[in-house]
Amino acid sequence: MNQETSNIIPRRTLQAEIISRLRDEIVQGIWGPGKRLQERVLCDRYGVSRSPLREAFRVIAAEGLLELQPNRGAVVTRPTLTDAIEYMEIVSALQTLAIRRACAIASDEKLAAIEKLHQKMRQASDRNQIEPFFEINNEIHEAIVQASGNAALVSMHDHADRHITRLQNLSGAKEASPALSMEEHEAFIGALLRRDADTAGAALARHLDTVTAEIKKRIADSG
């Protein structure tokens, strides 16, 4: 199967797949800030007609990743340092709420799965495996959000976190050093496993303050 053929979207999942595919490509930086999305190019890329593509534009524009401009059509938005700060405030508030809820209601199996991820993260740190370290780090934060058991919280977090991921992909911004990140993870994961909501929430909030400061610094440095 060649690359062009592999881009074709199955008809049974057409609308959702167009939205998911285009959104992911914007987050990954395939379509850069200020890029005008040509309908003909995307219709050929995905093997779809203009009608479902335009509906996808409207959905993704409502999420803040696209702007629909008169006479220009869909244009990829330009994220700013202000965006990073505002979305990190939302992510921090939601994750802090999530870990407190997880302490109260998450099953032992879910906490065990988070502990297993934490152990994998520690191993990646010990081996100085930077990319796997940060990938597992993201999995842990997502697992904590999922363990909250609150579907609305998960949905809002996904939306805000998507913008942070995009900013990181465009600027190369990561968290602080693996050693510091690991130390902070030890604090809130340990409290989560003890189901100590107050300590877990405070420790995670401190960690996310560190993350916010590092993202702001690196995005500012990268322009």
Q: What is the pLDDT of residues 81-107, one digit of tens each?
A: 888 889 999 999 999 999 999 999 999
Confidence class for position 178, pLDDT limits 50, 70, 90: confident
- Going along the chain from its start, the domains and CATH numbers come out as 3-76 (1.10.10.10), 81-222 (1.20.120.530)
**pLDDT category of residue 5 using cuts at 50, 70 and 90:** low
Give the span between the Cα atoms of 138 and 219, in whole angstroms: 19
CB atoms within 10 A of CB 22: 24
pLDDT, tens digit (0-9, with 9 covering 90-100), for 52-75: 999 999 999 999 999 999 888 999
Query: How, if at all, do strands 36-37 and 66-69 pair?
Result: unpaired
For the whole model, what pTM was predicted? 0.82
- Measured CA angle at 155 (ends 152, 159), to 5 deg: 140
151-171 vs 14-28: helix axis angle to the nearest 10?
40
Burial 137-159 (b: 16+ CB within 10 A, else e): beebbbbbbbbbebeebbebbee
